[in-house]
Amino acid sequence: MSGAEGSGWDVLAGEYVLGLLDDSGAASVQLRARTEPALAAAIAAWESRLDPLADLAAPVAPSDMLWRRIQGDLRPAQAPASPKTTPWRNLALASMALAAGLVAFVLWSAANRSAVVPWPRAVALLAAPGSASATLRAQVTSAGTITVVPLRHLEVTAGHQLGFWAWPASEKAPVLLGMISPDGGQLHFPFPPREGTPVMVTLEPQGATGHAAPGPTLYLGLLVAGSS
C-alpha cells in the first residue's frame, strides 16, 4: 500500500472524484478511505478543487412537480434519529450506495431506516456492484455461524481467494470473518445479526495476512430478517 501514498493517492482520488473508476474500483476506494485518512483527505481536496467546474453546466429550472414529489417522500421523524450513534456507518452505506449499481438501492434504503432490531435468523443476498441478480446467499443462525452458499458458479482469479467481511454498527471498519471457497463455506459470526448490516465478498491475495482493509469488492449485500 505504501506505493499508493503521496501523489499516488492524489491520482487515485482525482480519478475517483472525476467518476472515472468502475463500480468495483469506486467501491474499493470508498471502503479504503474509511481506514486511510490521507485518501479521504485527498478525495475531499479534489471535490473542492474541481467543484467550480460544475458551473459550466447551465442552470435548468426543475419542474413544478419535483418539490411536491420530494416533500411527499419526507419522513420528518427520521432526520435526528440514528446518526448520533452510527454517523460513520450511515455515511459509508450512503457512499457505497452511490457507486454500487442496483445493489445500491437496497443499501440506500437500508441507510435510511432507523430501526436496528435483532432477530434469530438473518439472510443476505449478495450481488455484484451494478448487477440486479444475486450471486450468493448468506444466512446467520442463532448459534453464531454464517453459512455462505453460491447461487451460481464463482470464478476466482488465479493467485487470489475470496474474503468474507461484515460491517456491524459496532465496528469502525469492515471485519474479516474468514475466507470462503468458490463452493461457499461456514464461518463464525461473532456479532448479533442486525438489520442493515453490510456483508461483502472481496478478492484477496492468496496467502496474504493481516487484511487491514478489504480488497476489491466483488459482491455486496445487507442482512435482512429471514422467514424461518
- Of 2, 3, 37, 57, the one binding another protein (CB under 8 A) is 57
Cell of 30: 470508498
Cβ 169 to another protein, closest distance in Å? Answer: 15
Is 135 in contact with 126 (CB distance < 8 Å)? yes
- Of 3, 37, 60, 209, the one binding another protein (CB under 8 A) is 60
Quote the DSSP letter at residue 72.
H
Is 168 in contact with 197 (CB distance < 8 Å)? yes
- Of 14, 25, 178, 192, the one binding another protein (CB under 8 A) is 14
- Closest to 95 measured CA to CA, from 149, 157, 32, 137: 32
- Of 59, 159, 207, 210, the one binding another protein (CB under 8 A) is 59
Q: Is 77 in the site for another protein (CB under 8 A)?
A: yes
Is 47 in contact with 10 (CB distance < 8 Å)? no
Q: Is 47 in the site for another protein (CB under 8 A)?
A: yes
From CA 39, how far away is CA 147, in angstroms rounded? 34
Task: Specify the residue, 132 or 149, whose C-beta has the smaller distance to another protein.
Answer: 132
Task: Indicate the helix (H) or strand (E) that contains 120.
Answer: none
Q: Is 94 in the site for another protein (CB under 8 A)?
A: yes
- Of 2, 3, 37, 55, the one binding another protein (CB under 8 A) is 55
Q: Is 143 in the site for another protein (CB under 8 A)?
A: no
* CA 136 to each of CA 76, 131, 158, 171: distance values in angstroms, whole numbers, following the listed order: 36, 12, 20, 24
Q: Which residues bind another protein (CB under 8 A)?
A: 7, 10-11, 14-15, 17-20, 23, 40, 44, 46-63, 65-67, 69-71, 73-80, 83, 87, 90-91, 94, 98-102, 104, 108, 111-112, 130
